[in-house]
Structure 1
Amino acid sequence: MIKMAAVREITLHKKILTLRTGRKMKKLDDVLFQALIEKAEQSDRKRSHHCFHTEHSDPVQRMCIGLKKGTYVRPHFHSQTNKWEMLLVLKGRLALVIFDQT
């Protein structure tokens, strides 16, 4: 689900994914993806993050996460109804388990 108030436009052109918000355009390209992969390979947890938000208190937390084979993201729950996550796999694959609240 994309909340259009937060992200106004998502485009993919010549392998460059662009997020257009109300403020500044953010480009996700092969240079960023390669840097994420290299950092993830060096990490004990086999992952790396690139944050696009400037403050932890920003109402929308946008980031690009590089995950390498062997990493594990533990199950977690957002109790606030205004909290959500969007996963977009650009390369590779992942296993996703979704739990209900019961």
Structure 2
Amino acid sequence: MEFLSSSTLDDLYSEAMNSLRLRSHFNLHSNYEEQVQRLLIAMVKGSFVEPHFHDSPHQWELFTVLKGTVKINHYSKSGEILSSRYLGEEQDSIMVTIRPNEIHSVECISETALLLEIKEGPYKRDSAKVNVNFA
């Protein structure tokens, strides 16, 4: 068994606050070759994961908001926002599954947020996501 201490979460938030991206990851999987990739993402207000998608058939993502509130936008190929949803505390939803090829962004709305991300592996950094520029 592996347990996660509250001091680890404190460290994760501290790393996020000092990061240019205003977020920090803590991998729960042992390596990038594992078939199930699990990680915690600590975010602070202002953190914005820019629009992107995953183009491999196995690259779905599941996000569960454990603390705080985030906004998930779903975009058309031309950049139109198809849907916008708040997830987390005091919201109607706390979880979202994003299918392959769905263009999406994530923004931290609350002062801090903690997300659990689960996705199919293995993780390959060079092909993990396709960033989108709508300009």
Task: Confirm or deny a common fold (TM above 0.5).
Answer: yes
Q: Which residue of 1 aligns with 2:38?
A: 62
Identity %: 35
Greater relative contact order, per chain length (Cα 8 Å cut-off, separation 6+) = 2
Q: Which residue of 1 aligns with 2:64?
A: 88
Aligned mates of 1:40, 1:78 — CA distance in 2: 24
2:64 alignment partner, SS class: coil
Q: Give the total of aligned pairs.
A: 78
- Which is richer in strand? 2
Aligned mates of 1:34, 1:76 — CA distance in 2: 29
Q: Output the TM-score relative to the length of structure 2.
A: 0.50
- Mapping 1:1-102, distance limit 5 Å: 25-99=1-75
Structure 1: segments with no counterpart, 5+ residues: 1-24
Aligned mates of 1:85, 1:71 — CA distance in 2: 19
The 10-residue stretch of structure 1 (74-83 or 87-96) with the greater mean CA deviation from structure 2:
74-83
1:27 alignment partner, SS class: coil
Aligned mates of 1:67, 1:52 — CA distance in 2: 17
The 10-residue stretch of structure 1 (92-101 or 31-40) with the greater mean CA deviation from structure 2:
92-101
Q: Which residue of 2 aligns with 1:5?
A: none
Q: Output the TM-score relative to the length of structure 1.
A: 0.63
Aligned mates of 2:56, 2:34 — CA distance in 1: 16
Shift of 1:26: 4.1
